[in-house]
Amino acid sequence: MNSFTEENYLKALFNLSNEKGEVSVNELSRQLQLKMPTVNSMMKKLAEKKLVIYESYKPLRLTEKGKKEAGIIIRKHRLTEMYLVEKMGFGWEQVHDIAEQIEHIKAPELFARMDTLLGHPTVDPHGSPIPDKNGKIRWLHYTKLSDCAEGETVKLAAVTHSSDEFLKFLNGRSLNLGVKLRIKKIESFDGTMEVSYGKRNAETLSKIVCEKLLVEKNL
């Protein structure tokens, strides 16, 4: 059985891996807010346990076993977030920190129950996919709003790097998942977008915001 600490390393590694499949010690240490030597020695430990592939001066990679374990932790996190929102009435901006703790609970029945009560959800309240019981994630094919063109109509499908403040910002303008957005205008010099959706006819979203919003194009 892995400790909370080890689980946090696996999860961070999994999340950082997802673009390149490889992660530097430096990156991981920044993510976890730990010093490099700390991370370095934990990587050796996880390599012993066959969870990570570690070679001196090479980037880090998760083994299949490591990916599976990380996936299961992320599954627990996202099921919990969904449960807190759907069954307990929390807002999507409130659930991350709680799920961060509950994800480490050793009680498969608990998460199985959440899954059942929620009707086997496939995404969490922020639109991120929930890995299956084997930790396998089904990748979704979303596009950044910032990569869309003027005149397109798209559906808001997920938000990335969802901090408290950002989610409250979205709440404030009723930007909930599922909302259909029409891109009225893009300012070419700074990437600011003017969009309309629901009852709002002309909301302005900075490029920074548009880069954090993932949308579905084939409507």
Chain residues binding DNA by CB under 7 A are: 3, 5-6, 24-27, 33-38, 40-43, 45, 54-59
Considering the complex, state which of residue 7 and residue 28 has its C-beta at the smaller distance from a copy of itself.
7
**Residues 42, 126: Cα–Cα separation, whole Å:** 30
**Binding site partner of 42, from DNA, a copy of itself, none, Cβ cut-off 5-8 A by kind:** DNA
Q: Which of 1, 89, 165, 172 binds a copy of itself (CB under 8 A)?
A: 89
- Does position 87 interact with a copy of itself (CB under 8 A)? The reply is yes
139 contact choice in DNA, a copy of itself, none (CB below 5 to 8 Å, kind-dependent):
none
Q: Interaction with a copy of itself in 157-216: which residues (CB under 8 A)?
A: none
DSSP letter for each residue of 137-168: ------EEGGGS-TT-EEEEEEESS--HHHHH
The answer to whether residues 66 and 52 touch, using CB atoms and an 8 Å cutoff, is yes
Distance CA 64, CA 204 (A): 44
> Which amino acid belongs to residue 145?
L
Closer to DNA by Cβ: residue 37 or 91: 37
Q: Rounded to an integer, what is the distance from CA 23 to the centroid of its chain?
A: 17
Query: Closest Cα to residue 68, out of 55, 82, 50, 80?
Result: 50
Residues that bind a copy of itself (CB under 8 A): 84, 87-90, 94, 97-98, 101-102, 105-107, 109-110, 113-114, 117
